[in-house]
Structure 1
């Protein structure tokens, strides 16, 4: 017995899956931003790690302080990436379930709805962590007082 779903069934399922697929594209864009931030944080920490052994006094203390902040930012942004990837994976599962349910005639609408809610929760938590990382980075940015001296006329 060969099962071949009708073209209208497949077309209707594709129409239903379009919104989650657009969400997947949006999550991909968010992941691109998060990965870019992580790369910049890592680059900065590597540069400071090279300066650290040669520094002394207040400069050394400043390097240690910034390295601690960078380490915290790496942890937060990594968690945000993990949550957003988990969100993307659940979107993929939702789309797959939409097709399986339509083809096999399963009534799993409640399961799909719960998974989609889970997707949104994961994405929301990832975005909250992104906001936390941005907040940490903004708190850490400060221009040293000696660099802000007014020009002498």
Structure 2
């Protein structure tokens, strides 16, 4: 028996169905770019503070330690958000691949594809929440010192 090859119309329909997840991958890529940029800036600030820390004393040393702790927290949050965003991208890619495999092999696992897409969205939401938390932590860290306002 000769296997049936999906027609052009079926493949075109599958490509159309996969466009939404592809746009989602583009958005996740942009989120990864933003998160990586923020992580880079935080790491640069940590390195600068590490140099200042060694020669500091008193209130200045206390301020550096406080900021280093806050930066360490931000690094942890950004890393978690990056992991979640990459996981979302992987799940989204699995959705796209599954759509084509199901079409070409005439498999019927729509429920599995739907669950994978839902999981991808939940991971993306979690990553965005992490991003929101990191931005909030960074904004709470940025303030003008009282001694400079007098």
TM-score bracket relative to the smaller structure: over 0.9
Aligned residue for 2:54, secondary structure, equals helix
Structure 2 residue runs of 5 or longer lacking an equivalent are: none
TM-score when normalising by structure 2: 0.95
Inter-partner Cα distance in structure 2 for 1:114 and 1:4 = 27
Q: Distance in 1 between matches of 2:104 and 2:84?
A: 30
- The alignment status of 1:22 with 2:19, answered yes or no, reads no
Count matched residues.
Answer: 149
1:139 — aligned with what? Answer: 140
- What is the RMSD computed on CA atoms of the aligned residues? 1.2
CA shift, 1:5, in A, is 3.4
| 1:79 lines up with 2:80 in the alignment | yes
Aligned partner of 2:9 in structure 1 is 8
- Partners of 1:4 and 1:57 in 2: CA distance: 76
TM-score between the two structures when normalised by the length of structure 1: 0.93
More displaced stretch, 3-12 vs 126-135: 3-12
Alpha-carbon offset, residue 146 of structure 1: 1.8
Q: Which has the larger displacement, 95-104 or 4-13?
A: 4-13
Unpaired runs of 5+ residues, structure 1, are none
How far, CA to CA, are the matches of 1:3 and 1:66 in structure 2? 64
The yes-or-no answer on 1:36 pairing with 2:37 is yes
Q: Distance in 1 between matches of 2:111 and 2:39?
A: 37
Deviation for aligned residue 1:3: 6.4
